[in-house]
Amino acid sequence: MSGRKLYELCGQDPTRVFSPFCWRSRMALALKGLEFESVPWRFTETDKLAFAAHDKVPILIDGETVVPDSWAIAQHLDRTHPDTHRLLQGPPATYRFVMGWTDSVLSPGIGRMIVSDIPALLGEERAYFIESREKRYGMKLADVTADREARLPAFRATLSPLRQVFREQPYLGGAAPDYADCIVFGSFMWARSTSPLPLLEPDDAVFAWRERMLDAAGGMARQAPCFGA
Amino acid sequence: MSGRKLYELCGQDPTRVFSPFCWRSRMALALKGLEFESVPWRFTETDKLAFAAHDKVPILIDGETVVPDSWAIAQHLDRTHPDTHRLLQGPPATYRFVMGWTDSVLSPGIGRMIVSDIPALLGEERAYFIESREKRYGMKLADVTADREARLPAFRATLSPLRQVFREQPYLGGAAPDYADCIVFGSFMWARSTSPLPLLEPDDAVFAWRERMLDAAGGMARQAPCFGA
């Protein structure tokens, strides 16, 4: 056993991991070819993370080292395994923009498309999730995603920066995926794990890139429990 | 003399350079501390660029080498001057996303705010500019920018990825500006050179970053002819 454990967000099914941030770390580990044991974690299990003095997943336990936060995990993996696939090809600072776009445009956009599908996956923590998210959005979750089919074209239009990149190269990282791909892909896996809504059209360059990412690292993401949309 | 010449877009005033792409190269040269002679170029002077087998500016002449295209210029400058300020801290491919966002979100957004202010700066090429741009937008330029003050909040909202970055670091490049900053700043200098519209509010982190860029490299951009908005 590698002694490497990743605490990951799930609902009733411990194998259906759906946090965008957990997917960043999961994909980063896969790209680097590093095995890990997944430790399922639910929204309300704050006490289970007390050991890390942190209240969110992902948290990586790597031998004796505890690394909370997906961004810290990426840097940790490159530092401890410099000879396998580089996640960060330049200084970490140069990855902040793709992260800023993902966190302020892509993920909020996806959230408004899928959030009402998430409660069905949850167990005891369902009430907590619904209450906290309805407070955040200021409305019922069903209202957040109302007319989502009609809003799909506007959502897809926000992906134009990705399309510009894929005209020139197959991955954000260039000829091969790097951590920028993990960041953006994480949000798409959040959608794919939780919602049957087809976010992308098959003739979209972003769809083709997502297919490549699903097949990357031995098809790890392709094999994950998903709606497949 | 350095023997370095940069063909740059201007209108009647040869010192008021306003293409976003020319500003990328101008700022890149400034960050690297490289002197150059500016060669003014107007929209309709296609024959003046025939020597480069290229129909757009910027074009850099560096001794015996002709380098068209701002992106090629950035890579050329790092290659020929590896010991001065690095423009690209990682592989070029990792800069494509900020370029994709700038070209598909930021610059189109700025264009819809300022395009009607550009004709006043132009001379003989004014008719060409108006006709070609009205064709592109499918309407009169005055109609493109109608209600622009009312649309400013929506425009400013599109800058959220930049704000996320500036919470963590002063420049897109990290502690110091790199070519990602040149790319984004070029579009803001396009606006500042051509339009009195105040695109940014003084309490915006993007405003503060733009101030830092205006002051970078000895205040080169601060001293350029601009509306100062």
Q: Letter for the amino acid at B142?
A: A
SS3 A122: coil
Residue B61's pLDDT is: 97
Question: For residue B44, is it within any domain?
Answer: yes
- State whether B128 and B210 are in the same domain: yes
- Mean predicted lDDT score pLDDT of chain B: 96
- Helices assigned H by DSSP within B6-95: 20-31, 70-80
Range of the domain at A190: 1-229
pLDDT tens profile A49-101? 999 999 999 999 999 999 999 999 999 999 999 999 999 999 999 999 999 99
Provide the number of structural domains found in chain B.
2
pLDDT of residue A178 exceeding 60:
yes
Q: What percent of chain B has pLDDT over 70?
A: 98
Report which of residues B170 and B54 the model is more confident about.
B170
Q: Among B80, B112, B144, which residue terminates a domain?
A: B80
The CATH number that applies at residue B194 is 1.20.1050.10
The CATH number that applies at residue B25 is 3.40.30.10
Q: Which two tokens stand for residue A148?
A: 């989502």
**Closest Cα in chain A to B176:** A93
- State whether B50 and B150 are in the same domain: no
Question: For residue B193, is it within any domain?
Answer: yes
- State whether B16 and B115 are in the same domain: no
**How far from A220 is each of A26, A175, A188, A214, A216, CA to CA, in Å?**
9, 19, 14, 7, 7
Instruction: Give CA–CA dist A177/A86, Å, rounded.
Output: 9
Q: Among B31, B54, B80, which residue terminates a domain?
A: B80
Q: From chain B, which residues contact A within 8 Å (Cβ)?
A: 88-101, 103-105, 160-165, 168-169, 172-175, 178, 180
Q: Which two tokens stand for residue A106?
A: 């892509």
Residue A2's pLDDT is: 65
**Residue B56 DSSP label:** S
Question: For residue B86, is it within any domain?
Answer: no
Q: Among B25, B45, B80, which residue terminates a domain?
A: B80
pLDDT of residue A113 exceeding 90:
yes
Q: Three-class SS string for A33-86?
A: CCCCEEEEECCCCHHHHHHHCCCCCCEEEECCEEEECHHHHHHHHHHHCCCCCC
Identify which of A95, A105, A175 has the shortest CB distance to residue B160. A105
- State whether B76 and B106 are in the same domain: no
Q: Which two tokens stand for residue A181?
A: 């791909």
pLDDT tens profile B157-191? 999 999 999 999 999 999 999 999 999 999 999 99
Choose from B69, B86, B101, B107 for mutation: most chain A CBs within 10 A: B101
pLDDT tens profile B103-148? 999 999 999 999 999 999 999 999 999 999 999 999 999 999 999 9
Q: Letter for the amino acid at B9?
A: L
Residues of A with CB below 8 A from B205's CB?
none
pLDDT band with cut points at 50, 70 and 90 for residue B229: low
The CATH number that applies at residue A57 is 1.20.1050.130
pLDDT tens profile A190-228? 999 999 999 999 999 999 999 999 999 999 999 999 986
Q: Are A178 and A171 in contact (CB under 8 A)?
A: yes
- State whether B27 and B71 are in the same domain: yes
Instruction: Give CA–CA dist A9/A22, Å, rounded.
Output: 7
- Mean predicted lDDT score pLDDT of chain A: 96
- State whether B114 and B76 are in the same domain: no
Residue B3's pLDDT is: 86
- Helices assigned H by DSSP within chain B: 20-31, 70-80, 96-101, 107-114, 126-137, 141-144, 148-157, 160-168, 179-194, 205-219
Q: Are B59 and B43 in contact (CB under 8 A)?
A: no
pLDDT of residue A47 exceeding 80:
yes
Question: For residue B224, is it within any domain?
Answer: no
Identify which of B94, B105, B165 has the shortest CB distance to residue A90. B94
Q: Which residues lie below 8 Å from residue B69, measured CB to CB, with a gap of 6+? A: B54, B56, B58, B59
Tell me the average pLDDT across B3-11: 96
Question: For residue B204, is it within any domain?
Answer: yes
- State whether B100 and B70 are in the same domain: no
Tell me the average pLDDT across B11-36: 97
- State whether B69 and B133 are in the same domain: no
pLDDT of residue B78 exceeding 80:
yes
- State whether B61 and B141 are in the same domain: no
